[in-house]
Amino acid sequence: MNEVRKAEEIKDIEALDNWVHHLISSWMLIKAEQPLKMLYDAIHKENTSNKSIGNGVRI
């Protein structure tokens, strides 16, 4: 999660997307994927604000 935070801090959307993709399947196994789904939606939504993405990282 440290790397996710770092990517968000430098506004590296591509890295965030890669981390979400990498983490979501393992989080699904423990039924904890909802925050990652919200972050994924924020990353892929057109005209998403940095605040929305930051909120998704900090949940």
Per-residue pLDDT tens, the chain, 59 aa: give them.
899 899 999 999 999 999 999 998 898 888 888 888 888 888 888 777 777 778 777 76
Crossing angle (nearest 10°) for helices 50-58 and 2-9: 170
pLDDT score of 1: 84
Residue pointed to by tokens 């590296």: 12
Distances (CA, A) of 44 to 17, 29, 30, 40, 41: 9, 23, 24, 6, 5
Q: What distance in Å separates the CA atoms of residue 42 and residue 38, rounded to the nearest whole number?
A: 6
Question: How is residue 24 written in tokens?
Answer: 């979501």
Half-sphere exposure of 33 (CA within 13 A, CB side): 16
Q: Say what the pLDDT of residue 52 is.
A: 77
- What pLDDT does 14 receive? 94
